[in-house]
Amino acid sequence: MLLTHRWSSLCFYFCLSSDNPSAFFSFFPLFEVFRSLSEMTDEKSRVQVSIRIRPLLKIDKNDKPIVHPLDETSLSLSDDKKAPKSYQFDHVLCGDQQSVYETIGRPMLEEAYKGFNVCLFAYGQTGSGKTYSLLGDISDEEKQGVAPRFVQELFDEAQRRVDEDTDLTIKVSLSMIEVYMEKVRDLLAPRQRGQEPEALEIHEDSNRRVYVKDASVHQVLGSERTMQLLRKGNANRQTAETKMNETSSRSHAIVQIAVTQEFATLEKKDLECTISLVDLAGSERQTKTESSGQHFEEAKKINHSLLMLGRALNSFSERKGNADSFISLRESKLTRLLSESFGGNSKTWMLATVSPTAYNAYETISTLDYASNAKAITNKARINKSVRDLEYKDLVRLRAHLETCLARENTLVVDNTQRCEVLSKELDQLLGELEVCRSDFTIENELENALVEREMLLMELRTALENSVVGNEDEPLICFSGMIKVAVGSVPMDTIVPITAVVPVFDFVGPPPLLRCTIRVTEPVADCLAVVVEVLELFHLPDFCSGGARVSLWFEGQESSRVYSHFVAPNAGNPQFSLSQSFLFDSAGEKVRNFLSKETLMVCVEGALGIV
Binding-site entries for ATP: 124-131
**Half-sphere exposure (Cβ direction) of 180: Cα atoms closer than 13 Å:** 22
Distance CA 85, CA 92 (A): 15
Give me the amino acid identity at 547.
G
Q: To which H or E segment does residue 296 belong?
A: helix 293-318
Q: What sign does the dihedral 382-388-389-390 (CA atoms) show?
A: positive
Considering just the CA atoms, what is the radius of gyration of the chain in Å? 40
Q: What are phi and psi of 603, to 5 degrees?
A: -125, 120
Cβ(502)–Cβ(528) under 8 Å?
A: no
What is the rounded CA–CA span in Å between residue 52 and residue 148?
18
- Residues near 150 by Cβ (< 8 Å), separated by ≥ 6? 101, 105, 108, 109, 275, 277
H or E element in which residue 183 lies: strand 183-186
End-to-end CA distance of the chain: 25
| Cα–Cα distance, 343 to 150 (Å, whole number) | 24
Under 8 Å CB-to-CB from 10, ≥6 apart: which residues? 31, 33, 34, 612
β-sheet bridge partners, residue 52: 93, 353
Query: How many Å is the maximal CA-CA distance in the chain?
Result: 133
**Which amino acid type is present at position 596?**
L
Helix axes 293-318, 361-375, angle to 10 degrees: 40
Q: Is residue 235 classed exposed, middle or buried when 0-12, 13-18 and 19+ CB atoms within 10 A define those classes? A: exposed
d(CA 260, CA 264): 13
Nearest to 53, CA basis, from 284, 282, 355: 355
Of all helices (H) and strands (E), which one includes residue 562?
A: strand 558-564
Q: Which helix (H) or strand (E) holds 397?
A: helix 392-436
Residues 103, 106, 108, 113, Cα dihedral to 10°:
-160
**Are residues 339 and 278 in contact, defined by beta-carbon separation less than 8 angstroms?**
no
Q: Which residues pair with 397 in a beta bridge?
A: none
Report the alpha-carbon distance of residue 104 to residue 114 in Å, rounded. Answer: 16
Separation of alpha carbons 29 and 11, rounded Å:
10
What letter represents residue 49's amino acid?
A: V
Residue numbering of the annotated binding site: 124-131
State the Cα–Cα distance between residues 474 and 547, nearest whole angstrom. Answer: 12
d(CA 113, CA 260): 9
